[in-house]
Structure 1
Amino acid sequence: MPVPCARTHLARLLILFLLTAAAAAPAGPAAADGPGWTAEPAAGTAGAARPYFYLAGTAGTVLEDRVALSNTTGHELTLTLRGADAYNEADGAFAVRPARQSTGAGSWISFGAAATVRIPPRTRAVVPFTVTLPPASPPGHHPAAVVVAEAGHEAGVRVHLRVGGPTLAALTVEGVSVRGRGAGAQVAYTLVNRGNVALAPELSIRAEGLFGPVPGRSARAVPVELLPGQRVRLTEPWPGAPVLDDVDLTLTVTAPGAAPATAAVSAWCAPWGISARTGAGLLALAGAAPAALLLVRARRTRRERPVAPAQEERTPEHELTGATT
């Protein structure tokens, strides 16, 4: 049965190729889409698809690019385009600001007269735009997006914009705390990008108990792209948390080009039952302490109170009348 075996072998190779290509593909969607339309970077000079816009230049220059819009419906669509500042939400997700709040790199993007485009049914249109870098724009990464809107629906295509000049990769980790117990424990922390380039951080946890090291977490990638100047609050599972121990945790965060950042916290790990009984005992002790103090004070007051002197007994006096008996 050589033919079926060969087909099986080819099928396996095809699956392996597809999985490898998917793993090598950039994260995130290659296009923004809405009901009946799509938006994506126009193909480059080599004809290859691009997952996002990448533009770089020195301050004071004007950069150019194009966005491709496709109408897949059977009727005409009117799309509006604008630039927007990009930022990290509190949990690290990528988001864009409204038009009136985009005062950074988003405001450098201009579509001119093509800010509103009418696209016939089943038609693809390519719209040019410019990015004007202000003369005083600081060096580093300036996250932005091209936002396309139609009938109340908005979608954006990321713009990786870099202004030439010195770059600084720097981050800190702050506000470390432990939530939960046992296998469900989590370590909460805040990451702050204090440099001018986007960072792909990695986090590791080292834990030391009363009797030596306890399982922590080996270094692994944090699932967030930390944009310049942004602060995010994240949690990391800690399945190796002990059931009963007093642990010192040290978090170490690294990123390419940045010095390692560390932060430490102490955590008392105890089962819920022990914690509840310990807490109840402490509350009872706290409640009994004032009563005991009042009792001691009462006894001390009785001991120190002066005793009134006893009255002397008087001997009855007999009246002498001079009478004889």
Structure 2
Amino acid sequence: MPFRPRTAVSGAILATAAVLLCPAAAVARPAAAPAPPGWSAAPAPGAGARPSDRDRPYFYLAGAPGTVMNDRLSLRNPTGRAVTVRLRGTGARIAFADGEVRVPPRTRAAVPFTVTVARDAPPGDRPAALIATSRGTGDGAAGRHTVPVHLRVTGPALAALTVENLSVRDRGEAAVIRYTLVNRGNTVLTPRLAVRADGLFGPVLRRAVRTLPGRLAPGQSADLTETWAGPPALDAVEVRLTATADGGAHGSATASYTALPWGAVAGPAVLLAAGAGGLVVVRRRRRAQGPEGERGEPVASAAGGGRPSEGERAGPAAELAGSGAGARS
């Protein structure tokens, strides 16, 4: 190919102009180094082990009532300044060797702590956590980390469930069944419920066993309701609730419910009121009239049938006067 000097000169001139107009494009600048991540908290690796991606994501501790268990929390500070971290525990009796730790730059600190299981603690799972916070200033200095602690109290499990405060009340054309479920055991329960009602003439309500929403922790209670649409209008009913859960938990309760329409109640009540009112009127009239002949003429004697004579009216005084005159003669 023949050499073209005019073309080469033009290319050189254009390249020189590009360098002069855009010096940043010609000189490559190194990329800025990313800021180091902030401090972090995590379960410490085993004794003598180096931290790795296989470290524990949470603490798991198990012990009988009265046991004191030990472990370590790892605080990592990759930043260029020291960080002061405050430590506390929730959900269990957790104590740190030091509640406030200063972690130097680009170091890792392992902080010992203990978890004490109360002597009267019932067996079962206990959720807990370690909380680390820092209010420092600067990149990565401030922050909060929560490390879960899965605590299990060992011992025999007891599943117990009771149904309490059962009542049935009218609500318009329906009835409302109110009750309370109480977890009397030491394990978490998922209750199941069955409802039945029997009247004078046979069953009036049947609800098969179904699992209720939610769970009950040991010692926890829940106030619940059941809506009964279309209960009988005239009947005496016994309502029974039966609650069950895994582990053999079983509880039941009964309540009475009497359904009476307004007409059935108002009719006898009106008749009784009318009868009572008539009886009161009769008694008042008898009291106003009094005994027979009390306001009429004097009652005649049985012998004469008329009024008494003058001699009869004189009575014993006249007899005494006559006998006196005869005595003088």
Q: State the TM-score, normalized to the length of structure 2.
A: 0.52
Counterpart for residue 201 of structure 2: 211
- Separation in structure 2 between the aligned mates of residue 209 and residue 195 of structure 1, nearest angstrom: 34
Counterpart for residue 114 of structure 2: 130
Superposition RMSD in Å: 5.1
Task: Quote how far apart the aligned CAs of 1:159 are.
Answer: 6.5
Of the candidates 187, 192, 196, which is equivalent to residue 182 of structure 2?
192
Q: Structure 1 residues 315, 251: closer, same or farther in 2, change over 3 A?
A: closer
- Separation in structure 2 between the aligned mates of residue 199 and residue 292 of structure 1, nearest angstrom: 64
Counterpart for residue 64 of structure 2: 58
- Opposite residue 187 of structure 1, the aligned amino acid is I
Percent same amino acid at aligned positions?
42
Counterpart for residue 94 of structure 2: 109
Counterpart for residue 167 of structure 2: 177
Counterpart check, 1:311 vs 2:297: yes
Contact 1:139 1:162 in 2 (8 A): no
Of the candidates 96, 107, 123, which is equivalent to residue 140 of structure 1?
123
Q: Structure 1 residues 219, 302: closer, same or farther in 2, change over 3 A?
A: same
Contact 2:182 2:219 in 1 (8 A): yes
Counterpart for residue 217 of structure 2: 227
- Separation in structure 2 between the aligned mates of residue 49 and residue 217 of structure 1, nearest angstrom: 45
- Separation in structure 2 between the aligned mates of residue 186 and residue 161 of structure 1, nearest angstrom: 41
Of the candidates 275, 280, 292, which is equivalent to residue 294 of structure 1?
280
Counterpart for residue 26 of structure 2: none
Task: Quote how far apart the aligned CAs of 1:197 are.
Answer: 2.5
Of the candidates 72, 83, 95, which is equivalent to residue 90 of structure 2?
83
Q: Deviations over 1:164-185 (max 9, x none)?
A: 2333222211211124458854
- Separation in structure 2 between the aligned mates of residue 269 and residue 223 of structure 1, nearest angstrom: 30
Q: Structure 1 residues 265, 81: closer, same or farther in 2, change over 3 A?
A: same
Task: Quote how far apart the aligned CAs of 1:282 are.
Answer: 7.0
**3-state SS of paired residue (1:56):** strand
Task: Quote how far apart the aligned CAs of 1:254 are.
Answer: 0.7
Contact 1:143 1:227 in 2 (8 A): no
Q: Structure 1 residues 133, 266: closer, same or farther in 2, change over 3 A?
A: same
Counterpart for residue 242 of structure 1: 231
Query: Which structure 2 segments of 5+ residues have no match?
Result: 1-39, 47-53, 76-82, 104-108, 136-145, 299-305, 311-329
- Separation in structure 1 between the aligned mates of residue 202 and residue 97 of structure 2, nearest angstrom: 65
Q: Structure 1 residues 308, 132: closer, same or farther in 2, change over 3 A?
A: same
Greater shift in the superposed pair: 41-50 or 296-305:
41-50
**3-state SS of paired residue (1:295):** helix
Task: Quote how far apart the aligned CAs of 1:263 are.
Answer: 0.9
Q: Which has the larger radius of gyration?
A: 2
Task: Quote how far apart the aligned CAs of 1:253 are.
Answer: 0.7
Q: State the TM-score, normalized to the length of structure 1.
A: 0.52
Contact 1:174 1:189 in 2 (8 A): yes
Q: Deviations over 1:73-112 (max 9, x none)?
A: xxx998774424xxxxxxxxxxxxxxxxxxxxx4x23345
Contact 2:87 2:96 in 1 (8 A): no
**3-state SS of paired residue (2:158):** coil
Q: Deviations over 1:203-260 (max 9, x none)?
A: 1101223432233321112223222233332213434x43524332111111112342
**3-state SS of paired residue (2:98):** helix
**3-state SS of paired residue (1:110):** strand
- Separation in structure 2 between the aligned mates of residue 44 and residue 301 of structure 1, nearest angstrom: 104
Q: Structure 1 residues 280, 60: closer, same or farther in 2, change over 3 A?
A: same
- Separation in structure 1 between the aligned mates of residue 180 and residue 126 of structure 2, nearest angstrom: 21
- Opposite residue 202 of structure 2, the aligned amino acid is G
